[in-house]
């Protein structure tokens, strides 16, 4: 049996708190019995995923969705559940003041409000012990001429510089890009190049966040991964998958081979080394499928593709590449992809006292029945609240 411990022992996948709340489309958000009503209940669900997989030790927060009075207490609550609080995601996309932009807005008062929100997020990070502030902006325009593209970049640079000044020595700012939505003509941080240009101007502790769902169809994402790792600027991933737009589906569900290719480049570029700055996070929503199993499945998909990508015989691949052996090189790459690693991963888990089949273990655990019975009354969390 292949020993996957060198690559899996250090693998960590952060879970997003919002994956446990209800979500949907602009047409309908479906409620599900047992859905968390509070961030504490979301953390308890995330801790369940970690307990069964051993791979998901941190939970990302989204502010203000996960606002509490006492973040130090929340940190303690998470620790009691054997998980830690991770990335703090800012949110300047659900406030009327930001209709025409947040960090890029022409009105200094609105820009300052958005900056202040980020400074508040940094204070939260100080209390939660989080390292990363993740910024994704909905800023953009819908019509040619609506905004001054260049002026907006300049204001964005100024706003980010102000925020960055407050980032602590042990903290980082990661800037996430997305090619469209909600803006439909021009987005202010649409691509890795813009994110790279903006974070490079800030300094060492500013990096790019790559959300796998945020590219035009057909984009070679593994190329971007390779390039950012080469440049030392790949800070984090938001993993999910997509068929059409920003579908936020289970990572690896739409295109397992793409996930394999991405993880191969991550490994190739040292992104899974013990001292790597690359943080792996899920950014998903479970609209119609069960949420906790949806997260378990996601974590397992990342682990599976990581295991498969680690099987690529790099020496043989390099030799084939250098010999111009096109089909030989491709065959070496595909051999790893087509290897079924599931039995070896089940054994790996059992050796560590984890269930061989975390999906089955969750179904048999009675956890769903317990939360359905307990979580009555109150308002269920939903994406955006
Ligand atoms: C934007 C995004 C970003 C947000 C999250 C809820 O599409 O990927 O990461 O914070 O969704
Ligand atoms: Mn994202
Ligand atoms: Mn997204």
Does 178 contact ligand 1 (Cβ within 6 A)?
yes
Residue 294, SS3 per DSSP: helix
**Burial of 100 from C-beta contacts in 10 A (0-12 / 13-18 / 19+):** middle
Which residue has the CA at smallest separation from atom 7 of ligand 1?
A: 246
Is the alpha carbon torsion for 72, 73, 74, 75 positive or negative? positive
Which residue has the CA at smallest separation from atom 9 of ligand 1?
A: 136
Question: From its phi and psi, is residue 277 left (phi > 0), alpha (psi between -120 and 50) or beta?
Answer: alpha
- Which chain residues have CB less than 5 Å from ligand 2, an ion? 211, 238, 283
Where residue 51 falls among pLDDT bands split at 50, 70, 90? very high
214: nearest Cα among 243, 189, 237, 180: 180
Q: Calculate ∠ Cα 31-286-247, nearest 5°.
A: 125
Q: What is the mean pLDDT of the chain?
A: 97
**Average pLDDT of the segment spanning 322-345:** 98
pLDDT tens track for 206-259? 999 999 999 999 999 999 999 999 999 999 999 999 999 999 999 999 999 999
Asked if residue 385 has pLDDT above 80, the reply is no
| pTM of the complete model | 0.98
CB-CB neighbours of 249 under 10 Å:
20
Tell me if 349 is assigned to some domain: no
Q: Residue 23, CB half-sphere, CA atoms under 13 Å: how many?
A: 20
pLDDT tens track for 126-159? 999 999 999 999 999 999 999 999 999 999 999 9
Tell me if 359 is assigned to some domain: no
Tell me if 118 is assigned to some domain: yes
Tell me if 185 is assigned to some domain: yes
The token pair at 197 is 């240009």
Which residue has the CA at smallest separation from atom 5 of ligand 1?
A: 283
DSSP character for 246?
A: S
Does 215 contact ligand 1 (Cβ within 6 A)?
no
Q: What are the Cα distances from residue 320, in Å, to 263, 316, 326?
A: 21, 6, 7
Tell me if 266 is assigned to some domain: yes
Instruction: Domain of residue 202: give its range.
Output: 10-311
State the pLDDT at residue 343. Answer: 97
State the pLDDT at residue 363. Answer: 98
- Using the atom order of ligand 1, give the atom closest to the CA of residue 181: 7
Asked if residue 323 has pLDDT above 80, the reply is yes
**Average pLDDT of the segment spanning 107-113:** 98
Tell me if 325 is assigned to some domain: no
Does 238 contact ligand 1 (Cβ within 6 A)?
yes
Tell me if 187 is assigned to some domain: yes
Beta-bridge mates of residue 360: none
State the pLDDT at residue 1. Answer: 83
pLDDT tens track for 55-69? 999 999 999 999 999
- Using the atom order of ligand 1, give the atom closest to the CA of residue 89: 10
**Average pLDDT of the segment spanning 22-47:** 96
Number of domains in the chain: 1
**Average pLDDT of the segment spanning 346-360:** 98
CB-CB neighbours of 316 under 10 Å:
15
Q: The CATH number of the domain where 54 resides is what?
A: 3.20.20.150
41: nearest Cα among 58, 72, 17, 62: 17
State the pLDDT at residue 383. Answer: 79
């Amino acid at each position: 049996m292949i020993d996957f411990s060198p690559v899996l022992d250090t693998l960590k996948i952060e879970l997003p708190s919002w994956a446990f709340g209800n979500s949907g489309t602009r047409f309908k958000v479906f409620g599900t019995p047992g859905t968390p009503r509070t961030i504490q209940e979301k953390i308890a669900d995330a801790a369940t995923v970690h307990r069964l997989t051993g791979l998901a030790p941190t939970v990302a927060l989204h502010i203000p969705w996960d606002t509490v009075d006492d973040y130090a207490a929340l940190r303690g609550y998470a620790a009691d559940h054997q998980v830690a609080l991770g990335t703090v995601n800012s949110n300047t996309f659900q406030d009327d003041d930001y209709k025409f932009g947040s960090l890029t807005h022409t009105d200094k008062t609105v820009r300052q409000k958005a900056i202040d929100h980020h400074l508040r997020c940094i204070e939260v990070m100080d209390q939660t012990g989080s390292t990363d502030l993740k910024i994704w902006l909905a800023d953009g325009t819908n019509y040619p001429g609506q905004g001054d593209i260049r002026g907006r970049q300049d204001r964005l640079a100024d706003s980010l510089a102000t925020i960055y000044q407050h980032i602590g020595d042990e903290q980082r700012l990661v800037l996430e890009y997305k090619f469209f939505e909600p803006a439909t003509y021009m987005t202010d941080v649409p691509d890795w190049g813009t994110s790279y240009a903006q974070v490079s101007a800030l300094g060492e502790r500013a990096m790019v966040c790559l959300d796998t769902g945020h590219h035009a169809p057909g984009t070679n994402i593994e190329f971007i991964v390779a390039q950012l790792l080469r440049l030392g600027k790949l800070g984090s991933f938001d993993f999910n998958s997509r068929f059409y737009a920003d579908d936020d589906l289970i990572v690896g569900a739409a295109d397992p081979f793409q996930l394999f290719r991405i993880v191969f480049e991550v490994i190739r570029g040292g992104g899974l080394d013990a001292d790597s700055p690359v943080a792996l996070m899920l950014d998903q929503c479970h609209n119609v499928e069960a949420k906790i199993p949806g997260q378990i499945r996601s974590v397992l998909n990342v682990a599976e593709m990581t295991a498969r990508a680690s099987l690529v015989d790099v020496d043989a691949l390099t030799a084939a590449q250098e010999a111009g052996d096109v089909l030989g090189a491709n065959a070496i790459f595909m051999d790893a992809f087509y290897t079924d690693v599931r039995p070896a991963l089940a054994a790996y888990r059992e050796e560590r006292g984890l269930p061989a089949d975390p999906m089955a273990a969750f179904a048999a655990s009675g956890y769903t029945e317990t939360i359905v019975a307990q979580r009555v009354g109150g308002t269920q969390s939903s994406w955006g609240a």
